[in-house]
Amino acid sequence: METEVLVVGAGPAGSTAAERLARAGHSVTVVEEHPRVGFPVQCAGLVSERVLDLAGSRAFVRTAVRGASVFGPSLRSVAFKANEARAYVIDRGALDVHLA
């Protein structure tokens, strides 16, 4: 079988691109430099609601974030609070595996 599209990297962007291209009828091959998708973890794992919608699952959500304090170099801070979740802490390795 001939590959039409080669996707380098099985992280969220690569896996999502590969899935969409395959659904559109293209022959896709994904290559990943690590032996295990999602490991080592590549980011802290704080995502928006849109990422969860695109992933189609919430299985990897660890907690919802409804506020935060942002500190500047002088240690002065600004606090943000909301009644509903604005971001989610996720298991990034589990997200990568889910999308792959």
Residues 79-97 pLDDT 10s: 999 999 989 999 988 888 8
Whole-structure pTM value: 0.68
**pLDDT of 93:** 87
At CB < 8 A and 24+ separation, what contacts does 8-14 make?
9/33, 10/37, 10/96, 10/99, 10/100, 11/42, 11/96, 12/51, 12/55, 12/95, 12/96, 12/99
For 1-42, write each residue's pLDDT tens digit.
688 999 998 888 888 899 899 999 999 999 988 888 877 877
| Comparison of pLDDT for 71 and 35, the residue scoring more | 71
pLDDT at 38: 74
**CATH no., domain 5-99:** 3.50.50.60
